[in-house]
Amino acid sequence: MPLRARFSGIIFLYAIVKSLYYALLIRMKRILVTTTSFQDTPGSHHALLGSQGYEIACARGPLNEADTLDAVGDFDGILCGDDAYTRRVLEKCLPRLKVLSKYGIGLDKIDMASATELKIPVCFTPGVNHTTVAEHTFALLLAIYRSLVEEVNHVKSGKWKRLTGHELHGKTLGVVGLGRIGREVAIRARAFGMDLIGHDLYWDDAFAAQYGVERAPDIDSLIARSDVITLHTNLTDETRHLINADRIAAMKDGAVVLNCARGEIVDNQAIADGLASGKLYGYGADVLDEEPPPADHPLLRCERAIITPHIGSRTYESVVRQATKSVENLIAVLEGRPPLAQANTI
């Protein structure tokens, strides 16, 4: 074989080896996206994620532990919703996973202690959905107080049945949790002419003074005095079943409970019993302990329970805000930069 041909062959072989080396060195990053509102809502977040050259796989969450276990294990980054990230799941994510980017603010489905121990950064997106969830809270309250769902169904069925409702004006609203969402609810309640009682471990004196929010000494005092109790607190061991049979018994007759936080904060059977007895006038919730719920879920059979499918933050405006921040967090960690918001210290 001529020397020139041999030399050309060596150069060609070298080029192939070099290409393979760089392909391995800069292996395409794989991303798993499970949040459905991210996937289903058009917006600039899709272009941002798509511009990074990642290989993107999608699943329809929220996923339980078994389904999450099946999905993970071969991804550099995961953009998750309310999927179950137990220790078993997190361990299967390794060694490849570099970041778990939560779309939203609730972290109760993630074993944060294990994520920290396993050195998995968990990012989240505070400050993106307080307006939307506060508005949804009042949508639920107005629907209950004015029997809107029932009335619409009457008209659609050809009936002209007019029910008598209630005003918000002059009612006392008890806000459990005065974080971003709780404060936005309080602001809107003032516009409706409601009186305000609040409870939070971290009290904002300036905000309370500006909007006339009386500080309740404890949850039980707030519950006893409120016409409407709205829940905007995190799910913890202390807040699980915060609203139970004993506390419902201590409420005013005809009280309303609103829950746009987490389904487990209330005892479902206690709520159902309170509605059946008439002690509760209504229960409005955007969250359940099981999502989607089984057909025999006790709250689905209650006439005065208005349940929406976890859409409190699902608006075109809010989805883009949440999705963009969750993608920016994911990109930052994968590029070795600090994210906008990280929930644990590695």
Among the listed residues 183, 199, 310, 321, the single catalytic one is 310
**Closest residue by Cα to residue 101 from 333, 345, 337, 338:** 333
Encoding tokens for residue 222?
Answer: 């707030």
Among the listed residues 60, 290, 291, 301, the single catalytic one is 291
For 12, 34, 288, 290, 301, the CA distances from 294, given in Å and listed in that order, are 62, 21, 11, 7, 12
CA–CA dist 304, 293 (Å, integer): 17
Which one-letter DSSP state was computed for residue 342? B
Residues with Cβ within 8 Å of residue 144, at least 6 apart in sequence: 256, 281, 282, 283, 284, 304, 306
Residues 166 and 217: beta-carbon distance below 8 Å: no
Say whether 169 is catalytic. no
Say whether 291 is catalytic. yes
Say whether 262 is catalytic. yes
Residues 244 and 234: beta-carbon distance below 8 Å: no
Among the listed residues 130, 166, 232, 262, the single catalytic one is 262
Maximum CA pair distance of the chain? Answer: 100
Encoding tokens for residue 163?
Answer: 């029910």
Encoding tokens for residue 255?
Answer: 């009280």
CA–CA dist 42, 111 (Å, integer): 31
| 308 burial level (CB within 10 Å; 0-12, 13-18, 19+) | middle
Instruction: Assign 3-state DSSP to the chain and report helix, strand, coil percentages, each to 5.
Output: 40, 15, 40
Q: How many CA atoms lie within 13 A of 162 on its CB side?
A: 0
**Closest residue by Cα to residue 105 from 242, 234, 238:** 234
- Return the active site residues: 262, 291, 310
